[in-house]
Structures are given as structure tokens and as C-alpha cells.
Amino acid sequence: MLLIQAILNGIFIGSVYGLIALSLTLIFGVMKIINFAHGSFLMIGMFTTFLFTSLTNYNPYISLIVVCPLLFFLGYMVQNFLIKSVLIAEQDIREPIGVLLLTSGLWIFLDNIFMVFFGPDYHALPAPFSKLSWSFGDLILINKARFFAFLVSCLAALILHFFLRHTELGRSIKAVGQDREMAGLLGIDVYKIYNIAFGVACAIVGIAGTLLTTFYYVHPNVGGLFGIKAFIIVILGGLGSIGGALLGGIIVGLIESFGAQFISATMTEGLIYIIFLSVLFFRPSGLFGLRYEW
Amino acid sequence: MNVKKYNFPVLFILALFVLPFFFSSPVLLHVLILVYFYAFLSMSWNILGGFAGQLSLGHAAYTAIGAYLSTMLFLRWHISPWVTMFGGGIGASIMSVIIGYPCFKLRGAYYALSTLAFAELVRVLITNTDSFLGFQINAARGLLLPVMGHAPGYFQFVDKQYYYYIILSFCTILTIILYFMNKFRFGYYLAAIREDQEAAEALGINVTWCKLLAGIMSSFFTGIGGVFYAQYVLYISAQSIGALHISLEMAFISIVGGKGTIIGPIIGAFLLTPLAELTRVYLAGTYMGMHLVFYGGVLMLVVKFMPSGIIHPLRMLYEKIITS
Amino acid sequence: MDLLIVEDLVKYFGGLYAVDHLSFSASIGEVVGLIGPNGAGKTTVFNLITGTYPPDQGRIVYKGENISGLKPHVTCRKGIGRTFQITKPFGSLRVIDNVLIACYPKSQTKKEAQQKAEGLLRFVGLYEKQEVLAKHLTLVERKLLEIARALASEPTLLLLDEAMAGLNEKEVNDAICLINKIADNKIGILVIEHIFKVITKITNRVIVLDRGKKIAEGDAENVMNDENVIKAYFGEDYAFA
């Protein structure tokens, strides 16, 4: 039953990957902003949860009360004060890379600020929490934390989908993503929408961080790999598609999970990159999405 | 040739050559060696990233291949690294064609991400290979070069001064090559490509071929840089010279200084490397990662306020000084 | 001999015919106008001729050679020059360097290319502005630069894509003179235009496209009074009975 175990684990962790990718889709796919600092926001979410739980001893999921507004605020500020001016300056350039570079700098900066303050140690939530599981016979162990992560991820994805489709704010965000100029002409304050969308995306990745903290270690550099995987998933899932991002995340999770059974961890990483490159070269529109045209 | 314009750079280079006669502190020499090393790597990156306008975030693949190939050949057959160095460079070039050919079809962020993925793939492959066709690779443990003391024939020295002059010479040679490249046809073609690729092609420039050639040049020198590292540190691992942060540093240094210019990467290296090294030496004990905080911060400031790099305000200042 | 023969050319994008079984030809010394409402496929025809994308069906024969699907830098070297509807100057480079680059493919040395570049700048009237960075040029200067660059490859076939768009009346008149000067040099020119005055003054012959299809061909005056053409541009109501 190792197989079923692997499948379940893959789906569970994959859903969290999907959630991270989803938030990146909002930024990358809808706003056309390359955010290399996404992993750093994830890491901040994780540290927040960790600190909150350590200080208050409450259930870590309660930290969401702090994580969501904090990350929204951070995202809003970053977009407004850091990214916006570069975006405006680059409007007419054929291949803008300024934001890519800016967020790369932000990534290095944030990760290492945390490294300076918190040191290179690995932190984790107190032991009992992450080890709780249900067992089905002797064969299948479902880790509670991972399962809840899966549930919350799917819930969050659904809420986001609903938000984008059926609320005015959400529709404005979609409109801006589809045709910025037109949306502006229709009276939508484009840059304010960008701020809000970025904030929402960061809040979502913060949720993912909280979920991860329940079963994964916390470390200043932890975000990097997740960030890169998120990009891979976004492109695999096709830009601008929420369902695609979630599904892509689950696929990556499954590949990792299976890979871990048969080949070493680093080789599985390599496998992800190979798949990524294959998609880029042969099917750049991913699973269900539009190609990001410059 | 406008003699007055070139006065300062030439004098500067001469000063650098003469410097060890006046200041022989090993710490100073070490920092300068690192500065020149990163300047060399960044100048190499700049050929593809700046002059050709292709933002590669995977150049660490070439430092890694250069270092590993050269070291593998040396360890197995005892050929002098002065010779295997070229093997490393050529190996890196071949890899750049393999990587470049598919990647150049992609634009912008897609291209950047694909180069990043390739470099990570190279790193993963190295980290998982113990030996290959009889050559020792040692997976994650890395390769140790035998300490030979003062062995000029084998590119090893005890006195830092030798390394100082070697890397400084490499930089000078590369600068001269770049100067001539930009004066003639190929340099102009690259300028056209980075300005507007479609227009360049409509004017008769074989864009793919030019990008590949720029990639070959860029990766060749990057590979050589990797070999220098191997011979200086005498230990290489995929995590040290093949890691993502090396790719990023090469790109960042060039961009902060001014990509697409010859001196840009040099300025960037002089600015960022000492900062990095000094913070690492003096603060790493208590504040690990501090130097990277500076890197990230400086990059953000430059992108926001001086997107063409520090060289532009500096150049205007320089021109004011000359004309007065 | 016909300079350019387009046979049964087809290009579709995502199910729509951008070019729908188009055939026409052009000879040296002719100025052929390519007109039609927006979206008729005119720029696509240019892109197919230069090789920006390959045709889905049909052939393009240039100087007797089938050039369908050859890449733009190859067609350029064979003697097809083009300008773009929205000019594409090398902004951060000087005007002289813009043209120098264009002259390089047909020159052996930098000196040769330099001399040719200066000659071309004189020809279009930009010589005094050679040190200016291209991004600082006015619209009409950019258009002239675009033409100078296209001429640099010593073309036998020149494709001008809405070269007059955005110019005022005087600038248009000057441009017409320039094009007539070029036409005297024994090359064939295809012109995409919207301005009727220009079409009547410089073309020998006009081809009208609508939705990828040729709907009329002939002398400018006749074509513009053609019922189908009027319908295409203005809609049913304006066509005379």
C-alpha cells in the first residue's frame, strides 16, 4: 500500500504547491508581473505562524488571523512603493525585465534579513502536532496536518475562484488582467487594483505558509525552492488559470512523491526541471492556459 | 582615438598591476582577487546578458562545467590545468550551444527561467554522479585538488600575488577583446539584436547565429573563470560554483554596474564584492547572510533609481571632469 | 521578367484566413499599392513575403526563385527590404549607427559600411542628424530612418508599410517625392497605404484586399470607384446602385 500512501501524500503536498502557484498565477498571469520574491513571502508567512504559535501556544491554524492581514499589507506595500514605479517606467519597453530583477533583489534581501535575525537554524512546530495521524489498518497513515492542508488549499482555491468571478472587485481584477488599457478607460483604478491583487496573492501564499508550517520545517531559505517550483507549476498549469495551477501543483506533488520512492530526492528535483523544460519547449501554453505574450 | 578619454582607464589598470609592490597584505590581495574574479565572471556573463540582451540566469552551469571538466582531466591524466583550462572553456561552450539552441526560441522571462532550470539540472546531475566514464566527480562531496605548493606548471601557487596577476591579466585581456568586439561588426549586430530583434532580422542579421556565438563566447570565458576558481580554492563542489546564487551574482553585478557596457561589470564588482567579502569576514560569525542583504538592497535601489546601472551617472560625472 | 509572383497564398491564424488564396505579381520599376480596410491582411502579406512567418499554402517567387518560408534575414540578403508600420529604430544608438548596422551585411569593411550609411542619410535628408540618438527623433524622422535602413540592404524589392501614417500634408508631399526618387532607381516597390492622395500619386497599379481576398485590381482611379471596394471600406450603404 506504499502506492496509495505515495498517491495521498503527493496529492496533499501537491495541493499546497497548487495554492502557492495559484497565488503566483494571480500575480504573474493576471498582472503580468514577474515576482521572484514569492517564496520569500511564503517564508514570512511560515515564520509568522511559527512565532505566533510559539508565543501563544494556540493552535497554529489560528495564526491565520495574523498571517492573512499581515501578508496582505506587506504585499500591498511592496507593490505600491517598490514595484509600481518600475512598472510605469517600463511600460513601453518590448521586453521588460526590471520587475524581474527588482523582485530577485527583494528575494535575496528578505531571505537574508531573516537569516540575519533568526540565524541559519531550522525551526519546527512542537513535535506532537505534526505527527498526528489517522490510521487505516496498519497500512495507510494519513497525516492530519497534511490532510487539513489539502482541505484548506482546495477551499481557498474555491473561494478565490468565486471571488474573481462573482464579486465586483474580483471582476475588476480579471478585467485589468485581460486588458489593462480598456479597464482603465472603464474607470477602474488600475494601479490600485494591482496593489489589492498583489496583497491578496501574498495573503494566499501566507495561508500556504501557515499550512506548511504544520508539517514542514521553517528556515529563512525555505521559500526559494517553493518559489521556483511555483513558477514551474504556473507555467505547467498555464498562466491565468486557477484550476490549472492547482492541478499542476498536484501533478508536481505526485511526481515528487513517486520519485521519492524510487530515486533520490535531488534526482526528483532534477525530474521536475526536465518536465518544466519539456513543457516550455513543446507546450508553452501548459495544461490549460494562454501563452504569456510580450 | 580620443587619447584623453582613455587616460583614466589605462592608468587605472596600470595602477592595479603595480599595486602589490606597495600593498602586499594578503587580505587586501584576497579581496582584490575576488573582485577581479567576479568582474571576470560578470564581464563574461555580460557578453550574452548585456551585449546580446539575453538575460541568462543559469550561467553557473558554465562555471561548474569549466571547473569540473578541467579538474576531472587534471586529476585523471595529470595534464596541466593551464591546458585543461581550455578544455573547460570549450566544454562550457558546447553546453551553451546545447542549452542555447532551444532556449533562444523563448523570450524574456521564459528564457530566463529556462536557463535557470538548465543550470539547476546541471547542478543536480553533478550532485548525483559519483563517477563518469572513469572520471571522479564525487557527487555532493566535491572534488579536492591535490595541494602542490608552488607549482607554476600546474597552475598552483602559495603566494597570492601570482593569482592576483593571473586574474588581473585575464580581466585585462577580456576587456581588450570586448573593446574590439564592440568596435566591429559583431558588436554592432549584438546591439541591434538587443535593441530590436525583429528589426535586426529584417535588416539581414542572422539573429539565432549571433545569439549562439555570443553564448559561446560568454560561456567560454565563464568556464575559464570556473577553472581559476578551482585552482585558487583547490576545492570545488556543485554547491559552491554551480549554485543559483552564483548565476544571480554574475547577473546582478553586471546589472548594478551597467549591463551592455564594458566597464559596467567591473564597476559592479568593485562595488559589491568587497562589500560582500568584508561583511562575510567580519559579520558572518554573528550575522550570517548580511552581505546578501546588501546585494539585494543595492540591486533593488539600482533597478528603481538607476536602471541602466551605476555607470551612467558615473560616466556623466567623468565626462564633466574631463571637459573641464 | 516579373520581380515578384505571389501564387495562391494562404495564411490562417486560429481558424481565420488572414490571407485567402491571394495571387498577384509585381515588376521592376513598378510601384504597386496594396490597400484595403484594416485587418484585410496587408501587413500579413508583407510578413509572408519577408519570411516573418511561413505561408500555409501557396508560393512566393522572387526573381524566379521560390522564397516561401525563408527567414527574414535570408530574404533581406536576397534583396527584399521592408519598413514597419510602427517604426522600429534602434533607440539607444545614434542615427548613423542605425544605418551603419543595416549596411554591414552588404559591406566588406566598416569603412565601406560607414560610407554607404552616410550616403543613405544624405539621400533621405537625415545627414545633419546623424549623431542624434534614434529615440530622440520626431515621427517623420523615424520614418525616414526606417526607409534609409531598408534601402541599405540594396533591395530590388522594397516593401513600405504605411510609411505615411501620422505625417502632416507637407511631410506627406516630401515623402512622395522621396519615394518617386527611389522608384527611379529600377526597383519594385509595394506600398501599403490608407491615404488616397498618396495612392493616386505614386502607384502604377493598385490591389485591393478585403478579409484576405483580392477584390479588385487595376489603376488607382478605377479601383477606388469600384463598387466592391467602396462596400469593403464603407459598408453597403455607400455603394452606388
Write the pLDDT tens digit of every residue in B261-297. Answer: 999 999 999 988 988 887 777 766 666 678 788 888 9
The reply to whether residue B202 touches residue C72, judged by beta carbons under 8 angstroms, is yes
The bridge status of strand C57-62 relative to strand C2-13 is antiparallel
Give the closest-approach CA distance of B262 to chain C in angstroms: 16
pLDDT greater at residue B235 or residue A183: B235
Retrieve residue B104's grid coordinates: 533562444
Q: Is C161 helix (H, G, I), strand (E, B) or coil?
A: strand
- Is B114 at the interface with chain A, CB within 8 A? yes
Residues of B in contact with A220 (CB under 8 A): 289
CB pairs under 8 A between B and C: 67
Sign of CA dihedral A83, A85, A89, A91: positive
Averaged pLDDT for residues A47-55: 91
Q: H-helix or E-strand containing C34? A: strand C31-35
What pLDDT score was predicted for residue B42? 96
Other Cβ atoms less than 10 A from the Cβ of A138: the count is 7
What pLDDT score was predicted for residue C240? 52
What pTM value is reported for the model?
0.89
What pLDDT score was predicted for residue A288? 57
- Is A100 at the interface with chain B, CB within 8 A? yes
Reported confidence tier of residue C122, pLDDT bands at 50, 70, 90: very high
Reported confidence tier of residue A284, pLDDT bands at 50, 70, 90: low
Among A31-40, B69-78, B273-282, C146-155, whose mean pLDDT is lowest?
A: B273-282
Q: Is residue A28 part of a domain?
A: yes
CATH code for the domain in which residue A230 is found? 1.10.3470
Mark out the alpha helices in chain A (DSSP H runs): 2-24, 31, 38-56, 64-77, 84-89, 98-118, 127-131, 144-166, 168-178, 180-185, 190-213, 222-237, 242-262, 265-282
**Looking at the predicted structure, is the pLDDT value of residue A291 above 60?**
no
User: Rg for chain B (alpha carbons), in Å?
Assistant: 19
The reply to whether residue A101 touches residue B288, judged by beta carbons under 8 angstroms, is no
**Looking at the predicted structure, is the pLDDT value of residue A19 above 90?**
yes
Q: Is B38 helix (H, G, I), strand (E, B) or coil?
A: helix
Other Cβ atoms less than 10 A from the Cβ of C198: the count is 22
Span B27-86, pLDDT tens digits:
888 989 999 999 999 999 999 999 998 999 999 999 999 999 999 999 989 899 999 999
- CA–CA dist B271, B295 (Å, integer): 10
Reported confidence tier of residue A294, pLDDT bands at 50, 70, 90: very low
What pLDDT score was predicted for residue C185? 67
Other Cβ atoms less than 10 A from the Cβ of C13: the count is 11
Q: Is residue A52 part of a domain?
A: yes
Q: Is residue A289 part of a domain?
A: no
Residue pair C49/C4 in contact (Cβ under 8 Å)? The answer is yes
Q: Is C24 helix (H, G, I), strand (E, B) or coil?
A: strand
Among A196-200, A286-290, B182-186, whose mean pLDDT is lowest?
A: A286-290
The reply to whether residue C97 touches residue B202, judged by beta carbons under 8 angstroms, is no
- Is A273 at the interface with chain B, CB within 8 A? yes
Residue pair B168/B12 in contact (Cβ under 8 Å)? The answer is no
Sorted by where each begins, the domain ranges of chain B are 22-243
Q: What is the pLDDT of chain B when averaged over all its residues?
A: 89
The bridge status of strand C31-35 relative to strand C188-192 is parallel
- What fold does the segment set C2-238 form as a domain? Rossmann fold (3.40.50)
Residues of A in contact with B298 (CB under 8 A): 105
What pLDDT score was predicted for residue C226? 81
The reply to whether residue B128 touches residue A220, judged by beta carbons under 8 angstroms, is no
Question: ipTM greater than 0.85, yes or no?
Answer: yes
Residues of A in contact with B109 (CB under 8 A): 34, 97, 100, 292
Q: What is the pLDDT of chain C when averaged over all its residues?
A: 88
Span A171-208, pLDDT tens digits:
888 888 777 778 888 888 888 889 999 999 999 999 99
Q: In what order do the strands lie in the sheet with C31-35?
A: C80-82, C157-161, C188-192, C31-35, C205-210, C213-218
Residues of B in contact with A89 (CB under 8 A): 307
Residue pair B76/B135 in contact (Cβ under 8 Å)? The answer is yes
- Structural domains counted in chain A: 1
Span A119-173, pLDDT tens digits:
888 888 775 656 667 776 666 777 778 888 898 998 998 898 888 889 888 888 8
**Looking at the predicted structure, is the pLDDT value of residue C199 above 50?**
yes
Residue pair A63/A210 in contact (Cβ under 8 Å)? The answer is yes
**Looking at the predicted structure, is the pLDDT value of residue C184 above 80?**
no
Averaged pLDDT for residues C155-176: 88
- Is A94 at the interface with chain B, CB within 8 A? yes
pLDDT greater at residue A41 or residue C232: A41
Domain that holds residue A154: 2-282
Span C70-114, pLDDT tens digits:
999 999 999 999 999 899 999 889 999 999 999 999 999 999 999
- Is C103 at the interface with chain B, CB within 8 A? no
What pLDDT score was predicted for residue A293? 41
**Looking at the predicted structure, is the pLDDT value of residue B95 above 90?**
yes
